[in-house]
Structure formats: structure tokens, C-alpha cells
């Protein structure tokens, strides 16, 4: 009886293996092509307003982005500095196309200790708006920013 059960499991396992060999792996969504312009090494500048009505704080950044997981995600590492900042801000994010909900989603984390989850919306071919939610000091927070892509 034991030999018969083992033999049956071997036949089922082998059948699954053959079927898996014939399966075609999924391919990244064509939507991911929109992110290919973000692949590379970049420098950026901008301002942040940490509190409504507060002063604008200028910053500079250096980013390195590459496609990962065979084109299913964009991996980005960014280093931000500014004269009025207490120290450098280091961030890492992963952006992907959510085919179930037909939207770009992102998860990011940084050396300030928070992890954020968000959506990216393309306003036009060169402008992305990202909204990210996270927790800061036990309170829910939402950040919103705009990224404009220049070809120079």
C-alpha cells in the first residue's frame, strides 16, 4: 500500500512538472515602458514645504534607477541633501504596474524610518503625480509630489 501511494505521488508530481515546463512565463505590462525613461543616473533639485504655510527648503538629489525582476519593477535609490536639512536623506523605492487595478503603485522607504505606499498618476507624457501614505509619530500622513521629466 505504501509503495502504491508513493508511486501515485510520483506520477502526479511528474505530471505537474511537465505542465509547468510547457507554461509560458508572464511578461511585464506594456505600461512599464513609461518608466523606462527613468532608468539611469540623475541629478535633481526642488523645494519641500514641511508644514503648510512654512518656508520652502531647497534640496538637491542624486538618483540611480534600473529595471528589476525582468522588467516588472523599477528600482530607485535616491540621496537628497540640502543646507537646511539636518542630514542626508536616503530613499529606496520600487514601482510596478498593478494589472488587477490598472494603476502604477509604489513602495518606498528611507533612513528617516518610515515606509510609504502610494499610487502614481501620469498627468501627461512628461509629468507624474505621486501620492503616498505613511505613518509619522503614530499619525497617518499623506505626501503628494510632482515629477517632471526633461530629456536634457
Q: Would you call 27 helix, strand, or coil by DSSP?
A: coil
How confident is the model over 74-113, as pLDDT tens digits?
A: 999 999 999 888 889 999 999 999 999 999 999 999 998 8
Say whether pLDDT at 14 is over 80: no
For residue 63, CA distances in Å to 6, 27, 129 come to 55, 27, 18
DSSP annotation of 34 reads G
Taking Cα atoms as reference points, which of 22, 8, 29 lies closest to residue 97? 29
pTM of the model: 0.74
Compute the distance between CA of residue 23 and CA of residue 20 in angstroms, rounded to an integer. Answer: 5
Amino acid at each position: 500500500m505504501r509503495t502504491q501511494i508513493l508511486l501515485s505521488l510520483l506520477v502526479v508530481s511528474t505530471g505537474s512538472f511537465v505542465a509547468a515546463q510547457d507554461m509560458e512565463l508572464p511578461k511585464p505590462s506594456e505600461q512599464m515602458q513609461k518608466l523606462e525613461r527613468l532608468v539611469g543616473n540623475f541629478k535633481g533639485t526642488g523645494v519641500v514645504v514641511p508644514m503648510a504655510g512654512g518656508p520652502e527648503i531647497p534640496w538637491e538629489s542624486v538618483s540611480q534607477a534600473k529595471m528589476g525582476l525582468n522588467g516588472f519593477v523599477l528600482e530607485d535609490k535616491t540621496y537628497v541633501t540640502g543646507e537646511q536639512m539636518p542630514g542626508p536623506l536616503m530613499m529606496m523605492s520600487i514601482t510596478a504596474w498593478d494589472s488587477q487595478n490598472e494603476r502604477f503603485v509604489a513602495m518606498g522607504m528611507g533612513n528617516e524610518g518610515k515606509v510609504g505606499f502610494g499610487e502614481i498618476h501620469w498627468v501627461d507624457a512628461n509629468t507624474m503625480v505621486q501620492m503616498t501614505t505613511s505613518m509619522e509619530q503614530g499619525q497617518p500622513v499623506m505626501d503628494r509630489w510632482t515629477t517632471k521629466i526633461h530629456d536634457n
